[in-house]
Amino acid sequence: MTGSKVTTLTEAVAAHVRDGMTVALEGFGHLIPFAAGHEIIRQRRRDLTMCRMTPDILTDQLLVAGCVSRLVASFFASGSAGSLYEIRRRVEQHDPAPLETEEYSHYGMYCRYEAGAKRLPFQPLLSYVGSDLPALNPRIRSVESPYGEGRVYVVPPLNPDVTIVHAQRADASGNTQLWGITGAQAPAAYAASAVIVTVEEIVAPEVVRADPNRTLIPAHAVDAVVEVPGGAHPSYAQGCYDRDSAFYREWTPISRDREAALAWIDEWIHGTADHAGYLAKLGQQRWDGLRVAPAPSGSVSYGRRKE
């Protein structure tokens, strides 16, 4: 157990995210670290290499805001809600500038984080045989199996300068617990030089230690812990609040019109001091509509040795 790493999002981003860095913001449809991404926009970081399996609206927004020059990803749309038009404009029309992209399948991208976390020179997977993907991504290579089953594709480690994730809870030293869809958060955190964790709630160490199997990112891998309730909006936090599907639908026409997207960034990000300000602007009524009813996991026992 180490000392408290609790700080503000302003300070955490200022301390750990610098221009030109490779930054992973992970969360697979769930627990997407929107509040942290918005703070990167507020602090006007530039020339970032953004790593996200599913770029989602968050990446579209960071692109509109001019923070990102390079994208490492495995999906270039927004789940059920369709295109991310800023990404499409950058790629299809080089408007306002081309976007360098590095593309994988989901498992390829996941394996890059795994290799990064485990300091392996490469990780094999069964995908890509016959695909055009390796031809356009020279980082996807192949290795001959020394057991005689032929060649297999491999991906190299991905080691971000900083990884940012959002979770349901952590203690002050950074022991981080998440449930529901756990995505690439743990390997992306272990692969990085610095890790910022934003959480719905900072809890007492006793809460974490009552259920150690839920800790997916231990304190030793975490540099900053920030309590940011609602920090995944418009994505969701299992058990806390639901996805704001209306927001996802609303983003499509905004994203389609670059001026509208810039205006949105100005109004909602630069126009608010922090995530609390963003949520206040969103309004209590909208937030109430995202609340979920409780569905308890139930408790198991870990046992204590009797004296």
**3 or 296: whose CB is closer to a second copy?**
296
Rounded Cα gap, residues 12 and 225, in angstroms: 8
Residue of 80, 193, 204, 273 interacting with another protein (CB under 8 A): 80
Examine residue 285 and tell whether it contacts another protein (CB under 8 A).
no
Binding segment for another protein (CB under 8 A), chosen from 41-49, 109-117, 195-203, 259-267, is 109-117
Residue 79 burial class via C-beta count within 10 angstroms: exposed 0-12, middle 13-18, buried 19 and up: middle
All residues at 6 or more sequence positions from 202 whose CB lies less than 8 Å from its CB, including other chains: 6, 169, 170, 171, 172, 225, 227
Residue of 152, 262, 263, 276 interacting with another protein (CB under 8 A): 152
Task: Provide the minimum distance between the beta carbon of 95 and a second copy in the complex, in angstroms, as a whole number.
Answer: 34
Task: Provide the minimum distance between the beta carbon of 168 and another protein in the complex, in angstroms, as a whole number.
Answer: 12
138 binds, options a second copy, another protein, none, Cβ within 5 to 8 A by partner type: none
What stretch of H or E contains 186? helix 185-191
182 three-state secondary structure: coil
Over 111-149, what HEC string results?
HHHHHHHCCCCCEEECCCCCCCHHHHCCCCEEEECCCCC
Task: Provide the minimum distance between the beta carbon of 271 and a second copy in the complex, in angstroms, as a whole number.
Answer: 31
Q: Which residues is 86 bridged to in the sheet? A: none
245 binds, options another protein, a second copy, none, Cβ within 5 to 8 A by partner type: another protein
Examine residue 193 and tell whether it contacts another protein (CB under 8 A).
no
Interface with another protein in residues 163-182 (CB under 8 A): 171, 173, 175, 179-182
Task: Provide the minimum distance between the beta carbon of 240 and a second copy in the complex, in angstroms, as a whole number.
Answer: 7
303 φ/ψ sector (left φ>0, alpha ψ -120 to 50, else beta): left
Rounded Cα gap, residues 70 and 68, in angstroms: 6
175 binds, options another protein, a second copy, none, Cβ within 5 to 8 A by partner type: another protein
What residue ranges bind a second copy (CB under 8 A)?
118-126, 141-147, 149-150, 152, 154, 156, 168, 179-180, 182, 207, 210-211, 213-214, 238-240, 242, 291-306
